């Protein structure tokens, strides 16, 4: 009876998940929200409201009134704006003037996987599902500005905030970002895409001035933001803490006025990062629209109700009253804030949303499963064959440590979090004996801003005793699953700090090396949002990149390890063997000094650097294995040459020649072998994820135009595609090219 009920429940869950995924696909095909008011009508409403506002009401609307809100105008029925972190789940409520918890009992969310995991799915439907689900949670909590997603480029594996971003490639980030934005905003919740721009390290983020050439800026660090504006229709953009051209990016003339608003035609609201404003006159003239933060006026920490002293508050009003500045900039700012209100809080057709539902949990699990990357599987230890496995040893602190709490502003109060150990135990119940040993002692704390995990990880044993226990357990097991990596502690994967080393903390490298000696059936699961060194890589048969997987972490991971799910994730950044295999570190250009950093590697970020310098990566960009095998055919082009205003289409056949169903990410790279400027060997310009049954084959098609062939000419301030020979390369990763063909640009 119990078994029949379990099977029935599984069937219902499967049907529910199928409906959810189908909904995500449908939204991806028809992403325009049906409830959105006509743009012309909104402009008319904005102008009407603007005429009715007093000067003080206008000033009040463009700065915060609490940690996370700004005032509306009650007299006119204009609601307040309520922002929320973060990009991976809706942050719990804090007190009005403090970071301390407000003590709500109904603000525990579903924690979705970190954005590194979402990007690793290489699946635009998953990005739509993610955005739709997260937008529903934000809407239910009556938030109208979601502070995310983060899309800063992965320049160095030491950036502590990389786990919140989408990797090293601007094309991949752009394509995964757009459906996320549309999924969120169809709920009447604005995305606030961050951090614009060049926020690629944490340590000196408030003081460092980034020196980068225009070509690198436009080719690497701006494309995803441009896609957010022109393809995603983002309603808000957040400035970054750092400086560029000597101005803080939250009040940066070049970035905000010249590029964002003039070049790209951005009509939305520019929001400051919290505490990112430093000057009233720059805030007035240089493109900022709304000021948020803590004590951004320089008052001592903890002073209550300091908001009227913010740079865009009384100081701005005083300048207007003194006749030193006009109201032209103010009216532009207020127009944008009003437009945001009419798209969100004042839209009568805005849906109601939903919060912490089973549907959202299933969506979170599906995204986590698709993002997990199988890095290595030489002895086919994975998937674990439970028919031949009596005892499984699970070793490592990350098998039990909660990862939804901590890491900075994306820290969450999750309704629940299934640990890897619990997920494995649940999956193999009555099929295998699970024995756990800690193996190493890392961070035993578990709280952030008053949110506490409730875990007691204190352990008085010495590291030698803990390791000895783990090795003894491993010797007796049929299979060993080591679950380690990084956590969200300072100087690991955490906001406000950069890592100090590529190595794993807490002496994990030594432990993994010893485990490999006592049991050859060893699986290493690396939980992190960053690349790590793996000096033991040749001694370990199976390696999995696990990311920070959210509420459903344990279930998702167990599903992949036991073979219920065929892994299909691919890396979104390069794993270097050593730090100096990365361009920024090879040139001693990370993190720079307290006041300056120069991006000496230019456009050669990630795989672009590795390709150019013929460096063999530990694991390359785009890499990810499967439990089945895919065969690629020849790539063909529909024409031999194209003109500047033409398009060209490439096709390749991919076949599943293995024994089980699986998904493969087919990647298109474009190469310009001969150019007047130094260009990367190849650059990603297309990708598609295809699902194939055993023996099934599908034709994958890519169509590109001049933009895929172009580089940014700084002198002309324009994109240029030089006539000549190009190559289209089809690969399973940036280092595994399966087929290529040449073509001409006339």
Each domain of the chain, given as residue ranges in start order, spans 365-608, 628-745
Distance CA 508, CA 648 (A): 49
The residue written with tokens 């700004």 in the block is 70
d(CA 280, CA 499): 34
pTM of the model: 0.94
Token code pair at residue 472: 């003894």
- Are 404 and 541 a contacting pair, CB within 8 Å? no
**CATH architecture, domain 365-608:** 3-Layer(aba) Sandwich (3.40)
Q: Is the model's pLDDT at 288 over the cut of 60? A: yes
Q: What is the DSSP string of 494-547?
A: -TT---S-SSPSTTHHHHHHHHHHH-SSEEEEEE-SS----TTTTT-SEEEE--
How far is 21 from 17, CA to CA, in rounded Å?
6
pLDDT at 238 over 50: yes
Element (H, E) at 726: strand 724-733
- Tell me the per-residue pLDDT of 403-422, one tens digit each, with 9 for 90 and over: 999 999 999 999 999 999 99
Mean of the per-residue pLDDT values of the chain: 94
Mean pLDDT of 180-191: 98
Give the contacts of 614 (CB within 8 A, at least 6 positions apart).
none
Residues 259-279: tens digit of each pLDDT: 999 999 999 999 999 999 999
CA distances from 422 to 331, 394, 446, 671 (A): 55, 10, 18, 47
Sorting pLDDT into bands at 50, 70 and 90, what band is 99?
confident
Catalytic residues: 273
CA 297 to chain centre: 31
For 216-237, the DSSP string reads HIIIIISHHHHHHHHTS--SEE
- The rounded percent of the chain whose pLDDT value lies above 90 is 91
Smallest CA-to-CA distance from 567 within 481, 626, 633 is with 626
Q: Which residues contact 308 (CB under 8 A, 6 or more apart)?
A: 314
Question: Which range is least confidently modeled, 292-301, 332-341, 559-568, 632-641?
Answer: 292-301
β-pair partners for 737: 731
Question: 628-745 — its CATH code?
Answer: 2.60.40.10
Residues linked to residue 522 through DSSP beta bridges, in sequence order: 480
Q: With b meaning 16 or more CB within 10 Å and e meaning fewer, what string describes 240-251?
A: bbbbbeebbbbb
Residue 166 makes CB contacts below 8 A (sequence gap 6+) with 115, 116, 118, 119, 149, 150, 151, 172, 173, 176, 177, 224, 572
Question: How much is the average pLDDT of 491-499?
Answer: 96
pLDDT tens-digit profile of 3-43? Answer: 443 444 344 444 445 445 444 454 444 443 434 458 899 99
**What ranges make up the beta strands (E) of 85-201?**
145-146, 190-196
Place of tokens 């799910």: 565
Instruction: Please tell me whether residue 326 adopts helix, strand or coil conformation.
Output: coil
Question: For position 295, what pLDDT does the model report?
Answer: 66
User: What pLDDT sits at residue 12?
Assistant: 40
From the CB of residue 125, how many other CB atoms can be counted at a distance below 10 Å? 20
Distances (CA, A) of 543 to 378, 392, 396, 526, 546: 9, 16, 14, 8, 10
Q: Residue 465: count other Cβ atoms within 10 Å of its Cβ.
A: 12
- Paired strand residues for 652: 635, 700
pLDDT (0 to 100) of residue 296: 58
What are the contacts of 457-465 at 24+ separation with CB within 8 A?
457/397, 457/400, 457/401, 463/507
What distances in angstroms separate CA 454 from CA 440, 445, 447, 578, 677, one per listed residue?
20, 9, 8, 37, 56
On whether the CB atoms of residues 313 and 307 are closer than 8 A, the answer is: yes
Nearest Cα residue to 556 out of 126, 227, 265: 126
Give the pLDDT confidence of 572-615 residue by residue, as tens digits: 999 999 999 999 999 999 999 999 999 999 999 999 999 999 99
Q: What is the DSSP letter of 162?
A: G
Q: How far apart are CA 151 and CA 35, in angstroms?
A: 27
d(CA 529, CA 407): 11
Is 143 in contact with 184 (CB distance < 8 Å)?
A: no
Q: Is the pLDDT confidence value at 730 over 70?
A: yes
**How many residues belong to the chain?**
746
**H/E run at residue 338:** helix 328-343
Q: Where are the alpha helices (DSSP H) in 344-419?
A: 358-371
Of 642, 592, 609, the residue nearest 746 (C-alpha): 642
Banded model confidence at residue 293, pLDDT cuts 50, 70, 90: confident
Instruction: Taking residues 296-311, report their average pLDDT.
Output: 69
């Amino acid at each position: 009876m119990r078994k029949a009920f379990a099977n029935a429940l599984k069937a219902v869950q499967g049907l529910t998940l199928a409906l959810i995924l189908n909904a995500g696909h449908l939204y991806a095909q028809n992403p325009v929200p049906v409830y959105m008011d006509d743009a012309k009508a909104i402009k008319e409403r904005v102008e009407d409201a603007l005429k009715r506002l007093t000067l003080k009401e206008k000033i009040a609307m463009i700065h915060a009134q609490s940690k996370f809100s700004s005032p509306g105008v009650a007299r006119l029925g204009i609601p307040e704006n309520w922002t929320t972190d973060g990009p991976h789940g809706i942050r719990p409520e804090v007190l009005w003037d403090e970071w301390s918890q407000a003590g709500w009992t109904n603000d525990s969310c579903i924690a979705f996987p970190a954005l590194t995991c979402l990007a690793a799915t290489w699946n635009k439907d998953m990005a739509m599902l993610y955005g739709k689900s997260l937008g529903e949670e934000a809407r239910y909590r009556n938030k109208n500005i979601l502070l995310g997603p983060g899309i800063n480029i992965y320049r160095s594996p030491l950036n502590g905030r990389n786990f919140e971003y989408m990797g090293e490639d601007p094309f991949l980030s752009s394509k995964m970002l757009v459906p996320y934005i549309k999924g969120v905003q169809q709920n009447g919740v604005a995305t606030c895409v961050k951090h614009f721009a060049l926020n690629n390290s944490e340590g000196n983020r408030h003081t460092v001035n980034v020196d980068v050439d225009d070509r690198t800026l436009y080719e690497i660090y701006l494309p995803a933001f441009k896609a957010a504006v022109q393809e995603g229709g983002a309603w808000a953009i957040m400035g970054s803490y750092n400086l560029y051209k000597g101005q803080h990016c939250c009040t940066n003339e070049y970035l905000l006025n010249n590029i964002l608003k003039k070049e790209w035609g951005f009509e939305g609201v520019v929001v400051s990062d919290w505490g990112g404003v430093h000057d009233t006159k720059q805030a007035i003239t240089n493109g900022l629209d709304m000021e948020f933060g803590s004590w951004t006026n320089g008052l001592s920490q903890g002073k209550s109700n300091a908001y009227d002293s913010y740079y865009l508050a009384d100081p701005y009003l005083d300048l207007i009253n003194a006749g030193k500045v006009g109201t032209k900039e103010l009216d532009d700012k207020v127009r944008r804030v009003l437009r945001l209100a009419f798209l969100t809080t004042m839209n009568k057709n805005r849906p109601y949303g939903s919060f912490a539902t089973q549907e959202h949990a299933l969506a979170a699990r599906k995204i986590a499963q698709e993002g997990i990357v199988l890095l290595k599987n030489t002895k086919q230890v994975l998937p674990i064959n439970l028919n031949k496995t009596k005892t499984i040893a699970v070793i490592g602190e990350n098998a039990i440590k909660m990862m939804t709490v901590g890491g900075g502003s994306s820290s969450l109060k999750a309704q629940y979090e299934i640990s890897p150990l619990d997920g494995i135990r649940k999956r193999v119940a009555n099929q295998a004996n699970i024995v756990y040993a800690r193996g190493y002692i890392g961070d035993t704390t578990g709280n952030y801003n008053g949110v506490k995990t409730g875990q007691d990880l204190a352990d008085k044993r010495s590291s030698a005793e803990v390791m000895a226990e783990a090795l003894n357990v491993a010797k007796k097991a049929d299979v060993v699953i080591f679950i380690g990596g990084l956590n969200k502690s300072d100087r690991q994967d955490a906001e406000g700090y950069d890592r100090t080393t590529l190595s794993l903390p807490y002496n994990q490298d030594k432990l993994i090396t010893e485990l490999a000696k006592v049991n050859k059936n060893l699986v290493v699961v690396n939980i992190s949002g960053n690349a790590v060194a793996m000096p033991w890589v040749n001694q370990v048969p199976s390696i999995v990149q696990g990311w920070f997987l959210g509420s459903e972490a344990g279930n998702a991971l167990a599903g992949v390890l036991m073979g219920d799910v065929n892994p299909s994730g691919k890396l979104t950044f390069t794993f270097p063997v050593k730090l100096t295999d990365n361009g920024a570190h090879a040139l001693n250009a990370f993190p720079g000094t307290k006041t300056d950093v120069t991006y000496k590697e230019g456009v050669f970020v990630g795989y672009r650097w590795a390709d150019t310098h013929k460096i063999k990566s530990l694991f390359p960009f785009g890499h990810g294995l499967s439990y089945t095998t895919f065969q690629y055919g020849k790539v063909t082009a529909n024409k031999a040459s194209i003109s500047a205003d033409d398009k060209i289409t490439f096709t390749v056949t991919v076949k599943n020649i293995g024994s089980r169903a699986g998904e493969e990410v087919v990647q298109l790279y474009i190469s310009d072998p001969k150019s007047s400027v130094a260009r990367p060997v190849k650059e990603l310009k297309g990708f598609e994820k295809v699902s194939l049954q055993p023996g099934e084959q599908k034709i994958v098609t890519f169509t590109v135009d001049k933009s895929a062939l172009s580089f940014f000419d700084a002198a002309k301030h324009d994109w240029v595609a030089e006539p000549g020979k190009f190559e289209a390369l089809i690969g399973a990763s940036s280092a595994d090219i399966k087929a290529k063909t040449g073509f001409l640009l006339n």
